[in-house]
């Protein structure tokens, strides 16, 4: 099977590495909200472009934020 022609998607870079952020806190909801879908799901790495290290931190931070009602488990 031949690969579809077209532009190769641009390589994404981890925005946390770019900003040199070491640890992600569950209290910064403004920042975390960018890594959550409209329905409140955590975005996968292939979409968010985070590196593995920061994606793990995002996951933990989102889960903590959910448990204290800062972020929704689900909307609607």
Footprint of another protein on this chain (CB under 8 A)? 23, 26-27, 64, 66-73
> Residue 71 CB, nearest distance to another protein (Å)?
5
Closest CA to 71 of 24, 37, 21, 22: 37
Residue (58 or 71) nearer to another protein, CB: 71
How buried is residue 5: exposed, middle or buried, by Cβ count under 10 Å (0-12/13-18/19+)? exposed
Name the residue nearer to another protein (CB basis): 51 or 70.
70
- Choose between 14 and 70: whose C-beta lies nearer to another protein: 70
Which tokens belong to 64? 């903590």
DSSP 3-state of 50? coil
Instruction: Report the nearest approach of another protein to the CB of residue 45 (Å).
Output: 22
């Amino acid at each position: 099977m031949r690969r579809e022609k077209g532009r190769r998607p641009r390589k994404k870079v981890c925005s946390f590495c770019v900003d040199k952020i070491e640890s992600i806190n569950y209290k910064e909801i403004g920042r975390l909200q960018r890594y959550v879908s409209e329905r409140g799901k955590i975005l996968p790495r292939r979409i968010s472009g985070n590196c593995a290290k920061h994606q793990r931190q995002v996951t933990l931070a989102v889960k903590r934020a959910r448990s204290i009602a800062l972020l929704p488990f689900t909307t609607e």
